[in-house]
Amino acid sequence: MTIEPRIRPFGERGLLVELGETFDERAIERARRVADAWERLHVGAAVPAYASVVLGFAADLLTPEEAERRASEIIASTADARSVGAAADEQPADRRTVEIPTRYDGPDLADVATRSGLSVDEVVALHTGRTYTAYFLGFQPGFAYCGRLDPRIVAPRLDRPRERVPAGGVAVADGQTGIYPFASPGGWRLIGSTDLVMFDASADEPSRLRAGDRVRFVPR
């Protein structure tokens, strides 16, 4: 569902731009475009997510009113769906494909299969059979929200998040899949694991995945 974009104050140094209210690939793409355009102004950082972008600005560079005006201009410039894919950095050739070697040994795999009315092998085949898009990163350094999961895989978030998910956990939840870069509490369902290092602070580009990447899970 498309709504009219809204700009809301987020403290005195930020704005929240809402581009929609649902999980929708077009809104994700537009959020990324708005964030890129904002960062080109060099007034502060931007954080895109599913259907929103947070725009930060330093008080000595912009007033809130100026920030809202610049945000409105950027939103208007990204309104045309055709312009969305037209920017130079959005050419398909620039999109990398990252393979994630995965052992399908997660503690929730059997439960996900049961909920989905599928066999374990069928869940694995559906999970490995798609190329996903890394929508945006958040939650942890290097954690990419990837989608879209085959709708036949039924995996709501856990009612009670686990206190500790191991690093490298491959998980699914609500139409998405992702890899936990670090051990942490987590509410997604674990179907597998990988030894791939997803975030390495000593690397030039520390995160294995960046927004826009294509992602494939390869069974091991």
Partner 1 sequence: MIHIEVAGFGSTVQDHGRFGQLRAGVPTSGPADPFAFRAAQALVGNVARDAAIEVVGASFAFRCDDSRLIAVTGRDVTVAVRDRVPSWSSVFVRAGDVVRVTGSARTRYAYVAISGGITSEPILGSRSLYPRAGLGRMLTAGDTLPLGAARATAEDAGRHVSFEYGDRAAAIAGPHVDRFDAATVARFFDAEFVAAAQSDRQGARFDGPGVASRAGEILTCGVIDGAVQVPSSGQPIVLLADHQTTGGYPIIATVIEADLGIVAQRAPGETLRFYRVERDAALARGRELRAVLATA
Positions that interact with partner 1 (CB under 8 A): 8-14, 16, 21-23, 35, 45-54, 56, 59, 63-64, 136-143, 145, 181-182, 184, 199-202, 206-207, 210-211
Distance of alpha carbon 149 from alpha carbon 137, whole angstroms = 17
Q: Which is nearer to partner 1, 142 or 192 (CB)?
A: 142
Smallest gap from Cβ 58 to partner 1, in A, equals 10
Q: Which is nearer to partner 1, 50 or 217 (CB)?
A: 50
Smallest gap from Cβ 109 to partner 1, in A, equals 24
Smallest gap from Cβ 181 to partner 1, in A, equals 8
Give the SS3 label for residue 8. Answer: strand
Smallest gap from Cβ 137 to partner 1, in A, equals 4
Distance of alpha carbon 132 from alpha carbon 193, whole angstroms = 17
Q: Which is nearer to partner 1, 51 or 170 (CB)?
A: 51
Distance of alpha carbon 171 from alpha carbon 203, whole angstroms = 25
User: Which position has the token pair 């104050």?
Assistant: 9
Distance of alpha carbon 220 from alpha carbon 211, whole angstroms = 25
Q: Which is nearer to partner 1, 109 or 171 (CB)?
A: 171
User: Strands 14-20 and 52-56: what pairing?
Assistant: antiparallel
User: Which position has the token pair 């939650």?
Assistant: 139
